[in-house]
Amino acid sequence: MTDNALLSGSVSALRQQLRDRAVSSEELTRACLERIEACNGKLNAVITMCSELAIDSARAADKAIAKGDFGSLTGIPLLHKDIFCTDGVRTTCGSRMLEQFVPAYDATVVSKMKAEGAVMLGKCNMDEFAMGSSNETSFFGTVKNPWDLNCVPGGSSGGSAAALAAGMAPLVTGTDTGGSIRQPASLCGVTGLKPTYGRVSRLGIIAFASSLDQAGPMARTAEDCAIALTAMAGIDAGDSTSADLPVPDFHAGLNHDIQGLRIGLPREYFNDDLDPEVRERVMTALSVLEQAGATLVDIELPHSHYAIATYYVIAPAEASANLARYDGVRFGYRCDEPVDLEDLYLRSRSEGFGEEVQRRILVGTYALSAGFYDAYFNKAQQVRRVITEDFTRAFDRVDVIAGPSAPGIAFPFGAKQQDPVAMYMEDIYTLAVNLAGLPGLSTPAGLINGMPVGLQLIGKPFDEQTILNAAHRLQRDTDWHLARPQLEALAP
């Protein structure tokens, strides 16, 4: 088998080849590791490689396959976003604060995927503490978009999306607090799924905003996302917010038949602010689903425009509480020669955190401080309910809600970095989904000027299956998800 076939194969195809013994996990793993070594100098998508560990796991997977003993991901190489704690493997969260941090346990997502036989290749670059939409806030440097090295890959799971698009691994993980899986998936031309809040355990995921954070897969196909989600999901005694609901086999449940599926188009997403070319790509994709038997329905989400304001109170408030733990005492960065305890706190935090993280801590601390709590935090939690109720009403009439994943294609480095508010607008179509705790998926919908655009599909709570089915159908009837950047150009 050629390296290119290995490096562009889907999880479902590679899994079959592994089981048929047409390729070994060791061959596949070595091909991915070589690919990372060849391209990472240009892309900076991977912070830490664990080559030896990966080869050992691959050999163990090959032995298991030889015995006919395999899980859903046995022998499949993957990269984790560097926000998932990995036992004995450095986990930085893209921050100087955790530059040397080596966790003493695996995140539940990591242990569950390991138990299914996945082979971890390393850890992906990301915006610092997942705060960003361009990967420009990482302490380890920006990640380049493999479609155009002058452009951002999106964020915060930009390293994961770029690595996947560049053929470094057939499967990657991400987290999504306000769009951090769907927006980079859109900008890098891959499929990304943010599950329902509570579907996947947050244990061992370095916390950003605890009522919004959710982990999910990014892959080359919706089918692969279904395989990965089944492996990742489920109640966890270690996360009291994980949902006590059965996890269906999303892969077995995949169905091309979308006859009668009602897809809602919120007029607030398709208003005059939407870029005409993005609108054209999204509408073309939706017309494919219409031809497959779906019905497009105009709907309203009248409080959509409050999502950004609501999010930028709740997320920083929760972040300011979560990030209070970084004090230079128990783990993480400590400043040199502190004169007293106060100096230790102040300098460790100011030197350890980057600018965007400090800004969000400040905003969050302000929103929670005496005299402002009701005006900001309580108010935002009230508006959160109003936004959520918009979705509940819409889902009385439709099965899925569709829109763009991001306002445009990948933008050049520096274009939005000077104005935090301009950067926050990148997530204008994704934030409300986190506030309402719904599942959302981004699937490729063609190119604009050679750069990928994503269609977002939003589902009812815990109904990932329906959006996976719609994306699966779209990917059967179109080939947008097969478009790849020029892989040869990325290697030296």
Catalytic residues: 81, 156, 180
Residue 91: both structure tokens together: 């986990």
- The nearest distance, CB 187 to other proteins, in angstroms, is 23
Taking the least distance from each CB to other proteins, the nearer of 367 and 470 is 367
Taking the CA atoms of residue 223, residue 227, residue 228 and residue 231 in that order, the dihedral angle to the nearest 10 degrees is 160
Q: Cα(452)–Cα(47) distance, rounded to whole angstroms? A: 25
Ramachandran angles phi, psi of 56, nearest 5°: -60, -45
Provide the 10 A C-beta neighbour count for residue 152: 29
- The nearest distance, CB 276 to other proteins, in angstroms, is 26
Collapsing DSSP states into helix, strand and coil, what is residue 248?
coil
Taking the least distance from each CB to other proteins, the nearer of 90 and 484 is 90
Please report, as residue ranges, which positions from 416 to 475 form the binding site for other proteins (by CB under 8 A): 419-421, 424, 435-438, 461
Q: Which of 366, 448, 463, 484 binds other proteins (CB under 8 A)?
A: 366
Q: Which has the closest alpha carbon to 445: 191, 226, 134, 257?
A: 191
Taking the least distance from each CB to other proteins, the nearer of 96 and 305 is 305
Q: Does 396 bind other proteins (CB under 8 A)?
A: no
Q: Does 247 bind other proteins (CB under 8 A)?
A: no
Taking the least distance from each CB to other proteins, the nearer of 153 and 354 is 354
First to last CA, the chain: 23
Please report, as residue ranges, which positions from 331 to 350 form the binding site for other proteins (by CB under 8 A): 331-334, 338-347, 349-350
- Residue 362 half-sphere exposure, CB side, CA atoms within 13 Å? 8
Taking the least distance from each CB to other proteins, the nearer of 384 and 473 is 384
- The nearest distance, CB 81 to other proteins, in angstroms, is 20
Query: For residues 131 and 38, is the Cβ–Cβ distance under 8 A?
Result: no
Q: Cα(213)–Cα(406) distance, rounded to whole angstroms? A: 19
Q: Which of 251, 384, 460, 473 binds other proteins (CB under 8 A)?
A: 384
Stretch that binds other proteins, among 11-19, 51-59, 140-148, 384-392 (CB under 8 A): 384-392
Stretch that binds other proteins, among 128-136, 182-190, 257-265, 308-316 (CB under 8 A): 308-316
Please report, as residue ranges, which positions from 202 to 241 form the binding site for other proteins (by CB under 8 A): 211, 237, 240-241
- The nearest distance, CB 61 to other proteins, in angstroms, is 26
What does 256-271 look like in DSSP terms, one character per residue? ---TT-EEEEETTTSS
Total binding residues for other proteins by CB under 8 A? 74
In which residue are the tokens 């850890």 written? 123
Query: For residues 406 and 454, is the Cβ–Cβ distance under 8 A?
Result: yes
